[in-house]
């Protein structure tokens, strides 16, 4: 499949998706959201792909927000439908994906851009990154999960301050808050993340997807995360990956997991 707003690069075990709208600082529009969905879906379905990395083109921005020109004249109903579709098509879709998704935050991650990064399983930032949710300065609130995921990651008080002030924090503060896992020089960002990705690819994809489901369960209303963990733990015993992992351990050799 050919894409207009993104680039999909695939290696043996890692798929890298680059949001490629540099003249718009990689802002999200309907087309980009749709293409991201399709590219991530394609990568997830590829049995060789064990990690997905999402980043932005250029050196200025990961994603500098949503494309405001698309919804400036929306009605209340249209705004609600826009948010609901975005959740289903991209943000919730990423969060619940069985393949790990890492955000390589290479500059501005604002509004929908920060929400995209937060939907990923974790984030690594370049030292020039700026992160924020400026929606209240436009008379809006975050609509792609920002009011939910930001408090989960950094706590209610800090999240409300960021949302109410509509301000940005730098990479060092994001690291201090726990919003990103690591901060590295921009020129080292992808290399650093690929090293982490290669560590992930050496482990069981089946176990990792089960762990993602169990961790996410803790943040879902009406779901007992401990029960999801217990069920997932038990299910692992019936997998080929468990048999290979334990056999390799006992034989003191490197594992050769069948894959997803």
Q: 181 to each of 87, 100, 192, how far by Cα in Å?
A: 24, 15, 12
Q: Which of 135, 194, 229, 244 is catalytic?
A: 135
Task: Let me know if 31 is a catalytic residue.
Answer: no
237 three-state secondary structure: coil
Length of the chain: 260
Q: Which of 31, 38, 95, 115 is catalytic?
A: 115
First to last CA, the chain: 23
| 167 vs 184: CA distance, rounded Å | 22
Task: Let me know if 38 is a catalytic residue.
Answer: no
Contact 136, 166 (CB under 8 A): yes
Tokens of 184: 């590295």
Tokens of 137: 């300065």
CA atoms within 13 A on the CB side of 161: 8
- Give the helix, strand, coil percentages of the chain, each rounded to 5: 50, 15, 30
Residues forming the active site:
115, 135
């Amino acid at each position: 499949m050919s894409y207009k707003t993104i680039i999909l690069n695939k290696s043996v075990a890692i798929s890298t998706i680059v949001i490629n709208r540099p003249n718009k600082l990689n802002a999200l529009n309907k087309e980009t959201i749709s293409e991201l969905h399709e590219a991530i879906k394609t990568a997830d379905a590829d049995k060789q792909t064990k990690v997905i990395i999402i980043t932005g083109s250029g050196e200025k921005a990961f994603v500098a927000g949503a494309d405001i020109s698309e919804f400036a004249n929306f009605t209340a109903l249209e705004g609600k439908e826009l948010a609901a579709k975005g959740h289903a098509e991209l943000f919730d879709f990423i969060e619940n994906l069985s393949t790990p998704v890492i955000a390589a935050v290479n500059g501005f991650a604002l509004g929908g851009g920060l929400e995209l990064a937060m939907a990923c399983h974790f984030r690594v930032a370049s030292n020039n990154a700026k992160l924020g949710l400026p929606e209240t300065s436009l008379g809006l609130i975050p609509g792609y999960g920002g009011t939910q995921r930001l408090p989960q990651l950094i706590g209610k008080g800090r999240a409300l301050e960021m949302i109410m002030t509509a301000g940005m924090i730098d990479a060092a503060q994001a690291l201090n808050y726990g919003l990103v896992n690591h901060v590295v020089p921009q020129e080292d960002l992808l290399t650093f993340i690929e090293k982490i990705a290669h560590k992930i690819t050496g482990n069981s994809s089946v176990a990792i997807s089960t762990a993602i489901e169990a961790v996410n369960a803790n943040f879902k209303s009406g779901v007992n995360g401990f029960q999801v963990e217990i069920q997932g733990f038990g299910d692992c015993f019936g997998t080929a990956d468990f048999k290979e992992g334990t056999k390799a351990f006992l034989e003191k050799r490197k594992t050769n997991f069948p894959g997803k």
